[in-house]
Structure 1
Amino acid sequence: MAPYHIRKYHIRDHKQVLTLFAQGIEEHIPATFHHLLKLPRALLLLAGGPLILLLVSGSWLLALMASLTFLMVLRFAAAYPFKLYIAMSLQTDMADIMKTYLSGRGSCFWVAESEGQVVGTVGALPVEDPTLWEKQLQLFHLSVGMEHRGQGIAKSLVRTVIQFARDQGYSEVVLETSIVQSAALNLYQAMGFQFVRHSYFHISARLIELTSVHLVFPMSSTQGRRL
């Protein structure tokens, strides 16, 4: 395995970072599609719709075409929340990473580099909420290229955020991920992140029951002191 090192983002990394970001988000679409196929209403649509058409029209071809059409609609529904998230991110924080993440002391963006290529990313921004009792840092855009996984890069990037939070005086690191991102969930929980609540990123995610999971890492935790 090629060695890697973690450093702060530089403007020259922008194209590679955006490519890695989009690929990392889009890879969850197949898992979401499988998740959607297991929902009772989706199964009812796939089985009931073509059956009704068959009974009404007597055409197996029409019923088959209806089944394929329903599958295409479900595939689009599975992809839509992720495509929307990518589009929103490219118009907001990821449009100018230097300005968003590196213009102040309380935020940062890092990349993992291997053989001159960006193979991992993670960002961190302060949570701006005057009602909060705790000073929170939010972790964003953790991603590692598929061919570079299994080397501990994701864990190193998360540790980098946690250490940054500790150095900057934050009391908690928070993040949000989805239920279909099982590898990420397992990583966060193994590192000491604790479940807070569920929510939905967008109404389109609610329609397909794509739940977002909110996690928190208290800096005072035993796990936090070991990291």
Structure 2
Amino acid sequence: MDERVWKFQPSDHEAVTALFQDGIQEHIIPSFTHAISQPLHITVTLCFFTVGYILGGGSVVLALLAGGLWIGLLYYCCYEFYAGYVRLKLNTDMRDIAGFYLSSPDNCFWVAEAEINGQPQIMGIVAVEGKEPPDSGQKYGELFRMSVSSASRRTGLGWRLGQTVINFCKERGFSKIVLHTSSTHSAAVALYYKMGFKLVQTPEEDEAPWWVLWLVRVSLLRMEKILQPCKDM
């Protein structure tokens, strides 16, 4: 499969934002399936059915309504966890990609094109932002917006995008690359491990309320790849 990677151009914006949105929201249904199949959630679902049946005087309709409300809440939380994230990012960095990622030499945003049925299409994106902690003189890069279309997965495109970020960060003299992802992105997590990233912690804070994370049964992950030894080591 022919592939081409280049820096983001304004003409790419519509295709890039569509790929980003689809890549995040495709996890809604798998996340809901995972959440509803958890033993605790199965127990709670049965309790709602039972309570609805008892309080409704043996009404099957009220039992189904009570259980349905609980299942609906789970789906809503799964939906909002991902759709809400997309809305937030489309109104921040993804609203002005050139201004956010291309206005500083320490930031960049790449677009990958591949041929699908003989037609070139944008099939992958990735970004990096250079950061420098106030208590350290060492800059590092944070990987953002990694997304590969389902039609181009298992072709090496994700690896190539990740390697593009690694090479960029090495050229900028960054000490490491960090990224944040979730446990539901299993394919991406596996790719990061293959590229040399290691799980360093599970962050406790996120844009989503704690109770949404608990219901959705998602773990947030922070991963790092060291690019060069620290000066004090």
TM-score over 0.5 for the alignment?
yes
| Correspondence 1:153 to 2:157 | yes
**Sequence identity, in percent?**
31
Structure 2: distance between partners of 1:132 and 1:99: 26
* Amino acid across the alignment from 1:137: G
Question: 1:73 deviation in Å?
Answer: 1.5
CA spacing shift, 1:128–1:31, aligned 2, 3 Å: farther
Letter in 2 for 1:49: F
Query: Partner residue of 1:58?
Result: 58
Contact 1:9 1:110 in 2 (8 A): yes
CA distance in 1, matches of 2:136, 2:77: 35
Is the contact made by 2:182 and 2:221 (CA closer than 8 Å) also made in structure 1?
Answer: yes
For 1:50 and 1:96, the matched residues in 2 are separated by: 48
Cross-structure match for 2:20: 21
- On the 8 A contact 1:113/1:119 being kept in 2, the answer is yes
2:80 maps to what in 1?
Answer: 80
Q: Mind listing any 5+ residue stretches in structure 2 that lack a counterpart? A: none
The alpha-carbon deviation at position 211 of structure 1 amounts to: 1.5
Structure 1 residue 49, shift from structure 2 partner: 1.0
User: Given that residues 179 and 224 in structure 2 are in contact (C-alpha distance below 8 angstroms), is that contact kept between their aligned partners in structure 1?
Assistant: yes
Alpha-carbon distance between aligned partners in 2 of 1:132 and 1:147, rounded to the nearest angstrom: 42
Which deviates more, 123-132 or 43-52?
A: 123-132
Output aligned runs, 1:127-206, within 5 Å. Answer: 127-132=131-136, 134-199=138-203, 200-201=205-206, 202-203=208-209, 205-206=212-213
What value does the CA root-mean-square deviation take over the aligned residues? 1.7
Check the 8 A contact 2:133/2:139 in 1, yes or no: no
**Aligned residue-pair number:** 220
Any conservation in 1 of the 2:52–2:64 contact (CA below 8 Å)? no
- CA distance in structure 1 between the partners assigned to 2:165 and 2:42 by the alignment: 42
- Asked if the contact 2:197/2:225 (under 8 Å) is kept, the reply is yes
How far, CA to CA, are the matches of 1:35 and 1:214 in structure 2? Answer: 21
TM-score by length of 2: 0.89
Distance (Å, rounded) in 1 between the aligned partners of 2:136 and 2:63: 55
For 1:196, give the aligned amino acid: V
Counterpart of 2:214? 207
Return the alpha-carbon distance in structure 2 between the equivalents of residues 151 and 39 of structure 1.
33
CA shift, 1:183, in A, is: 0.4
Distance in 2 (CA, whole Å) between partners of 1:113 and 1:88 is 26
Q: Which residue of 1 aligns with 2:11?
A: 12
Q: Post-superposition shift, 1:84?
A: 1.4
Query: Does the 8 A contact of 1:134 with 1:172 survive in 2?
Result: no
Task: Report the Cα offset of residue 48 of structure 1.
Answer: 0.2
Give matches, 1:36-51, under 5 Å: 36-51=35-50
Query: Would the aligned equivalents of 1:178 and 1:211 in 2 still touch at CA under 8 Å?
Result: yes
Q: Distance in 2 between matches of 1:71 and 1:128?
A: 44
CA contact (8 A) 2:45 2:71 kept: yes
- Give the match for residue 3 of structure 1: 2
Structure 2 contact 182–219 (Cα < 8 Å) conserved: yes
* Equivalent position amino acid for 2:201 in 1: R
TM-superposed deviation, 1:45: 2.4
Question: Which has the higher mean CA deviation after the structures are superposed, 74-83 or 28-37?
Answer: 28-37
- Higher mean alpha-carbon deviation, 104-113 vs 50-59, is at 50-59
Shift of 1:41: 4.3
- Which moves more between the two structures, 42-51 or 17-26? 42-51
Matched, 1:93 2:100: no
Scaled by the length of structure 1, the TM-score of the pair is 0.91
